[in-house]
Structure formats: structure tokens, C-alpha cells
A and B are shown apart, each in its own frame.
Chain A
């Protein structure tokens, strides 16, 4: 790839912001340009559907670093700027307005965009997507006790929003087209636990529900269903997944397949271009090099670390994937990838609101969902990372601590 003196990062979310920071921490002395469309420095998205929505923390606490740090560390941060073209042959990025910036290495950290409801009325006032701090800033004044909220989509975002809404005193209905919540991300057992918890907290669920139209004149008044029913609403929030933002990559001819395809060092089909975070697909070290596009903080940060190490001629040991979700007083911590499991066993019982579900494929432990069980989460993560496992009747033995068990694992 030749000597790298100029790095351009497109996308100033967590992946992009961390890349700039990790490069400097690793001693990279060349030029770093960070290009972001949002009107603010890089910030953490996870709290948006948790403490930030609840009004418990302000924007400055979401920022990865204070705005002043970028200049101090000679990171040229182009805030509110859109990159519109990559000239791969000339190794240049063109930004809106026509300015062209040369690079030796380019990092695509373009993220993902939330799917819009494919319904008539989806543009009505009071119907919101949930991705950016600006989205939440628009929602918050309407997010008041007594308001009728319909959440469409029962994934983690939808359920976290529902939890904060109940704690704020809103009237909450969740519409999900699948027959259970969290269908894409966990087992029926764990999904059932969260369904029960939300129901107990006063959330109504319409599972297998088919929203057909958003009703209202200027402002939303309700959601019409395919079966002819209608639910009243003052506020509709859609959390129906995201689409990886790969427009630039596609236009410049990079290989894209549900995300920009990269190798284990996050390099795309062009050796001078890396892709990380929500927009990228990477082989998973602990899962037979399976190509995965993970929408998570861990994936974003890991990508940043890998790219910084690669540019500096170093290697980086990757962690097993991990995720978390906070709902009410429940802390769900997830490690590994549960897809393809054939058995699930439990340590602890759901009724105690403190348990771990361990997912196995044959003898091999592949994932854990731990609810208020941080030790089980970290222990399982360590096992998955080091390719070790524990027999199913051993891992569920509560007479022994998780620490002991992990130490005994082969």
C-alpha cells in the first residue's frame, strides 16, 4: 500500500471517531481527516434509546471526546459535510461543493440508515425514526406522561424505547409483525422473558400485527391495521431495522454484499480502502470466519482498533462479539453469536430476574444472553474467545461459581 501519510475517514459516528483517536494513540503522525454529515462531533448512540431519551444525560456526555480535542490532536474534522464521490484511481474523496481531498488510506465508516415505514402517512408529523441525537431531540418534547405512543418493531431499540416510555408514564403499544419480540436477536425463551416483563410493566403488544397505514391529517392520530382495526396514537416511533449505508462504496465499485465486504483486517476489495462498523461485513475470527455485519458498539470499536493497528503495521487480537441492552432494571449482556444454536441451557431462573442462557452448537458454547448476571456474561465471553467450552450440565451448576467453572474449562 506504500507509506501512509494521509488518512481520510468518511463517517463520524463511533467507528469513525474511534478510528481517528486510536490512530493518534498508536502514534500515527500523518494527516487525519474525519468527514461527518451530522451537525456534531462523534457521539455514542446506545444511550439515545436509554438515558438520553429519559432526559438523564445531556449531549456533552454523549460525545466521545470534547469538540476541542480534534483540533488539539490535529484531526481535521469536517462537521456537517457530505462525501459524495470516491476517485479510487486518483485516491481522492470529493465532498459536497466540489472540494477534493487526497488520501493514502481511506476508511469507510458510513454507518446505516434506519428503514422508513413503507406506509402511507409515514411522513406525518409525530412519526419518527430513531437513529440520531437529532431524532431524539425532536421526539423528547412529545415524549410526555399520558401521551399515546405506538412503537413499531420489537427489536432492542423498540423495547428500550418502550421501557423508557413506561417509566416516563406514556401509554405504550408495541406492534411487531413477527409472532414474538426480539425474533432476530435471541431465542424464544429469552424473548418470552422480555415480553412478560414489558407486559407486567404495562406495555401492550400486538404480535403478528400488520400496520397498514398511518392515520392523521397533519399530525399522526393513529395506526390503521391490515385487519381493519385502528389504534390511536399521539406519537409513532419506528424501530424496524437499518440498511447499511453503502452508496459511496457501490458507486466506486467496491464489493458490497449486505455491507461493504472486507477481510479480517477490515480491508475492502481495494487495498487502500477499509470499511468498519455498521456499514461493513467482516469474517468473524471465533465463528469459522463467517461473514457478519454486526450493528454494535463492539463492532464499531473493534473495527477502529483493527484499522489503526493495520495502518501502523501492527496486529490486533479481536474479541468475541458483545452487545448489551438496558430495559427497566434489567441489564442484558450478550456475547457470541447465537445463530445456528441447537441447544439452550439456563443458569439461574427467569423468575428471579437474574439468569443466563447459554447457547450451544453441539458441544460448543457459541453465545450467552445474561440478564443481571455479569459474571456469566464475561465468563462465557472468555470461553468463546479462547475456543473453550463447558459441558451443559456443568455450566448450569450453580453450586460452583462462574469463575471456578471458567478456570476448569478446556
Chain B
């Protein structure tokens, strides 16, 4: 279990207890966090679960894989700390993780 804070573009925060093994995307979608669409359900096919990982957490979340990076190339407003949240697996090591959501996923 990890406590994850999702911060909407408007500043609104959602704190969610995410079970290990789920992805950061799944935990958000299952709790209806607005701003993560994840239309494909986590198949790395739609690039609509874009998040900005809080810089303090970049080491723990690791780097985007090559497929993910290619998808991110075409997402809006990509930054160095951009990730697709469907590719980040929840574990104890991510307890306290903070991610921010972009203005739009499309």
C-alpha cells in the first residue's frame, strides 16, 4: 500500500491509498480522480494518463521506457518529469508519492 497524492491542474488534491501491484493510473481511475482519462485501461495505447512526477520522487519512480517515451513525445506540455502513470507500478517504496496532472490529456 502507498499513499499517493494527485494534484489536479486547478490545485485540488486527492489522496488515495493505492494497493501494491496496481499502477498509479489504475488507483486514480478507480477513485475517479478527474484529469486522468486512461482510455485504453493501461495498455500504453492512448497517452491519456500523463502526469508530472514530483521532482523529489523521480528516483523512486524510475525512467520512462522507450515505448512510453515515444508516446510522451506526442503528449501535450511534456516536461522532464512527465510520465505515463499506467507505467508506474505501486509499491511500498512509493508511499507518499506526489504527482501533478496536466491541464488536458488531449
Contact = CB atoms under 8 A, between A and B. Distances in A.
Given A324-B40, A331-B44, A382-B74, A66 B67 contact: no
Contacts of B59: none
Contacts of A319: 106
B36 to A, nearest CB: 11
A181 B106 CA distance: 33
Given A319-B106, A379-B74, A382-B74, A73 B41 contact: no
B43 A46 contact: yes
B29 interface: yes
Interface string A293-336: 00001100100000000000000010100101010000101000
B43 A326 contact: yes
Given A44-B41, A331-B45, 18 more contacts: A25-B32, A25-B34, A46-B41, A61-B26, A64-B29, A298-B46, A319-B106, A322-B46, A324-B40, A324-B43, A326-B43, A372-B67, A373-B70, A374-B67, A375-B70, A378-B70, A378-B73, A379-B74
Chain B interface category by residue count: 20 to 34
Interface string A21-58: 10011000000000000000000101100000000000
A297 B41 contact: yes
B98 interface: no
B47 interface: yes
Contacts of B106: 317, 319
B14 to A, nearest CB: 13
B1 interface: no
A58 to B, nearest CB: 10
B30 interface: yes
Contacts of B71: 374-375, 378
Given A374-B71, A379-B74, A65 B39 contact: no
Nearest to B74: A378
25 contacts: A21-B32, A25-B32, A46-B40, A47-B41, A61-B22, A61-B26, A63-B30, A66-B30, A69-B32, A297-B39, A297-B41, A298-B39, A298-B46, A301-B37, A319-B106, A322-B46, A324-B43, A331-B67, A333-B45, A373-B70, A375-B70, A378-B47, A378-B71, A378-B74, A401-B73
Contacts of A47: 41
Contacts of B26: 61
A347 to B, nearest CB: 13
Interface in B15-53: 22, 26, 29-32, 34, 37, 39-41, 43-47
A63 B42 CA distance: 12
